[in-house]
Structure formats: C-alpha cells, structure tokens
Structure 1
C-alpha cells in the first residue's frame, strides 16, 4: 500500500501514562448550563478553546484523558506554565515520543473555565491533523469536561450544552433510551451487539470515542471474525504512528434496541495496540460516524448515556469509493475573469481567497488553499486511472475545487457508485485529466 496521510482521523485513544489530577471546570456563576457551538468536520467536533488567553481549536474527544496540544507552528506565542519533559505512548507503529507536561493553565470555552488545567504538549511537527481536516486544529480535550458536567451534544444543530450535574434533569420519551456505560481509567465504555455474517448477535464492549471519525472498530478473536469481503486500508494516525487494518461492513450494530444496518466497520491490525497491556474486556471502539446519528447526553458521574435518534440515523454509511485521500498543502494563486456570460465585467464578483489582486479591472488573482492527493488506495478506481500521490487537484467534474471545502471535494469524488468522475490535476507543471468510474466496494452496495 502506498504511504498515505490520514483521512479518517483516529486520535489518541489508548494513550498510556496521561493520568493526572486537575482542578475542575466551573460554569459562570448562577448558570445552569453553558452552550457552545462546534464545527462538525469529518464526524469530529471542533470547539473553540482559549489556553492562557490564546484562542485555539480543539477536538472534543471522549477517548482522551488529559488535554494534548500539538500543531502550534501557526501561533505567534502561547504561554504554558510549569513545564517539564516526559515520554508518552500511544496508538500506532512508532516508538514512544517526547512531550512536555504543563500545569496550572487557564483554559476557557464559552463561559466554562478551569484555572488549573494540566496539559501535555507534543512538539513533533508530524503530529498535525489540520491538513486532513481543512481547518487549523491545535489539540484535543475530553475527560476533564465529561467528568465535570453532563454533556448534551446536538449533532444536528451543532451545539454542546455543559450542564451542572446537580441541576440536570433527565428528559426521556418513547424515542429515547438510557444506556448504561462504565467509566474506567478516564475512558467510557458501553455494551452493544454486532451481527457480522448474518449469524448470531455477538455481545461487545466498545470504547466510546468521539475523537475517532470512523464508525466502529472491532478486534478480531475467536468470536469476532473478519468478513470475507474486506479490503486493506489506512485507518488513521495515532500518537505513535500510522494505523492500518481491514475495512468492511457488518450486517448490523445494535445499541439498546437501536439497530444500524449495513454498518461500516474496521478491523485494525493488532500490532497497533502493542503498548496496551490489558484491554479489560474491550472489543473495539465506537466512533463519530455512529455517534453523530444520535442526540447524545453523556452523564459520566452516573455512568449513563442518553440516546435519541436524529435525522442522521438512517443515512447510508460513507466509504471512500474512489480511493483518493486529500489534504491541504499550503496556498496557491488562481486567476479568474470577473465577467458574466456576455463578457460584462462585475466588480462585486464573489471572492474565494484571503488575498486578491485585481489586474486591469477584469482579472482577479486569489490566494487559495492548495489541495493535493495525500494518498491513494492500491487497486482503487483512482489508482487504476493513473492518479498519484502528490498530484494537485484543480477540478472535479469541471468544477474548480478552490470554491469548495475539503470535505465537499471528498463528497464530489465519492458521490455515488457507477458515476464517472473526471479529475483535472497539476503534475510537474502539466495539467492532466483523469477519468474513472466509481464501483461499489461490496457486491450488495
């Protein structure tokens, strides 16, 4: 398989040695809850967080203990208090990495504050998820927030409400299920059932991981067997390196009496988990592509999860049918004529870049993100057509891609099976046009 950068973001679930006590988060005085807006990108919740007065973006990740900072190169400065050097482990094929531990930091999101937050800082420039998400992301935060509040996540409205646990009242209906979960070593687990090959349902214990953009990961054993129809794939990037495995689909996943049919699943290579000595009966992970199908309330204190189906519930699971992964790779200039179909110049034409230069009143140069092919799955339609890692994407089906967000371009490349895709790329200063047809990954898709 060609080496590729991450498209499905697998964050630091399973990190060892990150357990320290911090002071608690507090709501503004007199408030029952605090509402925070988030961006939903590739099934991940991106929230605004201030660290010692510096505005940053974090992934809200229920699979991580202490907050972790990375990708600070775009910051002029950030204050970190009481810094010492440490070594930490994480998922992936690499070795443990050096990091920094910082204590007594002021962290705020909305009106929620912690004046004494402990933070880990990874200085490795290779740990950078921003290019694959299309926006700056500087870190991950999780357990401390889930510990201190009842966390209500509305994936449709893209809002999170942090409730004072003492004031929160359960709201149930015939469409709502209250599910038991267990919180062990700062991570949450729930029991579910999977049917893999249209045989019996298998009970499984899954890590609840909002920091994974995937659907469900399963660990192969004598009960949980990999389906015959699968393909090798790059699953993501962990703290210690790349994660590979097999991607497939299962007959269904059942949580309480909610059944998700034809669920996307992955079987990671178990070498990924060689730093974890004891799984504690865990059989896999439940990620954002499943969790976003519910309105979810996390109640860590009482070890309860409140689930209500939302409008995402019945949507088909998304696969990378084309086999192309994309990422941002700096900026580039594009030129555009500011005219209508009749050649009339329009000075108020829509802008697509942060920097524009007008030439003779009718041509605009705009500085826009450069999108490149960061990886191609071997044997995929894009690979067979001749696309290569490093190609600069210019247009998809005649649409200039600088007008679109990264995830919108990915959707254009994987819109539906049996559709012909035309991709214009730049390679070594030459423009090349490739065409391929999207084929289903499984016969019954």
Structure 2
C-alpha cells in the first residue's frame, strides 16, 4: 500500500537571532486515533494514583525550550520537548524503533517547508509513557524515519521527540520558568490561581492547538488584534506572517536572515521589532519579531492565524495553560523586565560530540561581528575568554552572545584543517 500524505508544517528554525521551533500539523486522512476534536477519546495521560490531584515534574530549560524526561515502554528515560504547538506526539530519533519494539502502523509521506523532498514516517500506537506521577498507558506517536530536525544539536543535549497536545489536554499545566518546574492539575476540578498579579487571556483550541487573540502595536499608528498560536515549542518571542492580513507589513528597520531549517529545506525571512503586545493587564514593549517569507508554507496552515508567540516572551511569566476551561493564566516573574535581545555575535553554533560539548559554526550572518572576524562554517569554537568551551552549555554560550552591546570576547577557533585561529569579537546590537 502506498504511503499516505501527512502534511506537517514543521519548521525547526535555528533562528540565529532567536532560535525557535514551530510544529504546525495539518493532515488529510488522519488515522482514527487523531480524529478531529468533535469526538474526544479518553484522556491519554492520567495520574499514577487515582487519589492524586496534581503532580510536579522538573524540567530543563535549554535554548528557551522546555525539556522533560519520559520512559517509553519501560525503557529510558528519554528527553522530550514539551510543545503546545504540536497536535500529535512525535518520536524524532529513529534509533529508538528497535529497542522500544515500536509497532509499525500506517506509513505517511511527511511534507514540510522548504526546498527538498518529503520524509517518510509511520504511526505507532500503544506506547506506554511514564513521567513522575503520571502515565499514558497507550499513546500514539508519529515516528520520523530520519532525525532531520536535529533537536539535540540545537539544544545541546539528547532530545528524542516532542510531546504536545496529549499532555496539555490531559491536565491543567502550570509552568514555572524560574523554578524549572511543571505542576500538573486535574483538569475538571482545577480552580484558577489566586492573587492580584494573575491575569487571564482566553484560549481557543482549534485543530488540537491553542490560540490567543491579543492587541499588537506594530507602529505608532497601527494597533491590530492578532490571532497567534500559543507555542511553547518556539524559542523566539513573536512571529508574524505578513501574508495573513493585508494590513501587516515588514518593519522598516529589519534584518534579512536565513531563519533556519525545516523538514524540507531552508527557511528565510526577516527579523525586526514591534512596539508592544498586550497580554491581559500586562504590556510588553519592543518585541523582537520574526517575519517568515510568505512562500515558506505558513499560509497552508489548516487554521487561519497571524503568527505565533513563543517562550522568549512567555518565560517572563509563571503561567497556567488550561485547555479544559479555555484559559491562559499569567503572572510576571523575575524575567519580566528583561529586554528582548537579538544575537549580537552573528554566528550559529551546532552542538556535536558524545556529550554535545563540541560547538561547530553552522552559519555566519553577513555583516556581523562574526563575519568581520573572518569566521566561516565548519570552524570549531575551542575557548571563550581563555575558558574551554567544554565548561559551557550551548544555552550559556547563547546567553553570552545575547548579553551586551559593545562587550568584547576573546575566542579561539580551530579550522577544519587543524589550524588554530584566535580572534577578538566585539558584540554589536544589530536590531
């Protein structure tokens, strides 16, 4: 039987200014286990004990992404990205198929965004998933035939897949970025958080993804209500698709950028800023914003929207994502006043090696400090200010490159031919 088409607009945008991951799924001929919302199957996850009302899960916060651990079919633990932007759970690491004895169901050709060909994947049902205090006895996964997203290289630690809608429809999910902790509540009996600092924003759940409608000030004279995917799997602050509304346009001050890599090739667009966004009673100003090109496939999404909001913005709040009551609850935390900064170095690093502590230059932004310093793809970063890079995580290096306009860094690289190349880079705010 020929493989059916499964259209996943999955952009793993290793966005040099703001790394982000979007996973938009639009399917024709979904299998019965992932049919439309009108007929809801039983909740896939439950508490281990029937008497439990909540469970606390630690997570790692890497590159503005939430990484949780889970055991599959009694093996692991494995690392999964927790992402409201995905409508079906994914296993992105095909090496897990044999040790987990994953059953091969219907085959699909997965169409992504970009310039290359499609990818094969298969559905696997009845996978037992266990996390501290919770269990899914028989979860379905879409298993990719190749790890084209390379989440591990981007995050700087092993990542084996993505969990999304299945978790968020099973619980009211409280996310505490400062504490790197999740608190999962029984959804039907959950009561809103108390305290005058909490504010709420209505959620719309469509095609298994959450959307918010919020006012965005694009300029002094233009304030528009935008429909945005609430996307915890996106490391950027805000993304706007200018083709979604004739009133939307690119900002005059912008950078052309190769935004990253999708399932089917390169994603291009611009980086700029919008003046503000209103979330309940709170306003955030001078938001760094991505503007993907219209031909990158976002216009084919199954639910019309204007873009998405990611964790670079959302991490500034403690939040409760409550699908059952269609509410997003927000309370500012210690990160609320942090400015939105673009990468000031101009190079993108890929983590490699057994422990993901070797860092290879993947891309260099034209006219950036990295470009001026003569860096090229393939160079390996060896030290920062005389400290070996093995003492830094990729998240820590990213923070250094985003840290301060005019800051001077002394970097040592090794060329592909083995030559050592020391250089001095002065960080520069470009947008």
* TM over 0.5, shorter chain: yes
- Separation of aligned partners in 2, 1:178 and 1:414: 30
Q: Which residue of 1 aligns with 2:170?
A: 148
Deviation at 1:74, TM superposition (A): 7.7
Q: Say whether residues 1:172 and 2:194 are aligned partners.
A: yes
Q: Which residue of 2 aligns with 1:351?
A: none
Query: Which residues of 2 match residues 68-107 of structure 1 at below 5 A?
Result: 68-73=90-95, 77-107=99-129
TM-score by length of 2: 0.88
Q: Which residue of 1 aligns with 2:421?
A: 432
- Separation of aligned partners in 2, 1:118 and 1:75: 13
Deviation at 1:58, TM superposition (A): 0.4
In structure 2, the CA distance between the partners of 1:421 and 1:193, relative to structure 1 (3 Å rule), is same
Deviation at 1:26, TM superposition (A): 1.0
Q: What is the root-mean-square deviation of aligned Cα atoms in Å?
A: 2.1
Deviation at 1:207, TM superposition (A): 0.5
Q: Which residue of 2 aligns with 1:357?
A: none
Q: Which residue of 2 aligns with 1:287?
A: 310
- Separation of aligned partners in 2, 1:264 and 1:13: 21
TM-score by length of 1: 0.85
- Separation of aligned partners in 2, 1:277 and 1:215: 20
Q: Quick one: which of 365, 377, 380 aligns to 1:392?
A: 380
Q: Which residue of 2 aligns with 1:377?
A: 365
Q: Could you list the per-position Cα deviations for residues 307-345 of structure 1 after superposition, in whole angstroms to 9, with x for gaps in the alignment?
A: 1111111111131111111112225xxxxxxxxxxxxxx
Q: Could you list the per-position Cα deviations for residues 102-129 of structure 1 after superposition, in whole angstroms to 9, with x for gaps in the alignment?
A: 1111111112111121111001143321
Conserved? CA contact 2:148–2:263, under 8 Å: no
Deviation at 1:34, TM superposition (A): 1.1
- Separation of aligned partners in 2, 1:435 and 1:413: 13
Q: Quick one: which of 54, 61, 69 aligns to 1:40?
A: 61
- Separation of aligned partners in 2, 1:81 and 1:235: 35
Q: Which residue of 2 aligns with 1:27?
A: 47
Task: Give the gaps of 5 or more residues in structure 2.
Answer: 1-12, 35-40
- Separation of aligned partners in 2, 1:189 and 1:5: 23
- The SS at the match of 1:83 is coil
Query: Which residues of 2 match residues 267-278 of structure 1 at below 5 A?
Result: 267-273=291-297, 276=300, 278=302
Conserved? CA contact 2:58–2:180, under 8 Å: yes
Conserved? CA contact 2:357–2:389, under 8 Å: no
- The SS at the match of 1:202 is strand
Conserved? CA contact 2:56–2:181, under 8 Å: yes
Query: Which residues of 2 match residues 247-286 of structure 1 at below 5 A?
Result: 247-273=271-297, 276=300, 278-280=302-304, 282-286=305-309
Q: Say whether residues 1:239 and 2:263 are aligned partners.
A: yes
Q: Quick one: which of 188, 194, 209 aligns to 1:187?
A: 209
Deviation at 1:234, TM superposition (A): 2.9
Query: Which residues of 2 match residues 159-238 of structure 1 at below 5 A?
Result: 159-220=181-242, 221-238=245-262
Report the more deviating stretch, 238-247 or 301-310: 238-247
Q: Could you list the per-position Cα deviations for residues 383-419 of structure 1 after superposition, in whole angstroms to 9, with x for gaps in the alignment?
A: 1210111101111222221111112122233431112
* 4+ residue segments displaced more than 4 Å: 4-7
- Separation of aligned partners in 1, 2:171 and 2:346: 40
Q: Quick one: which of 276, 301, 324 aligns to 1:301?
A: 324
Aligned length: 403
- Separation of aligned partners in 2, 1:436 and 1:145: 43
Deviation at 1:435, TM superposition (A): 1.9
Conserved? CA contact 1:107–1:115, under 8 Å: yes
Conserved? CA contact 1:328–1:371, under 8 Å: yes
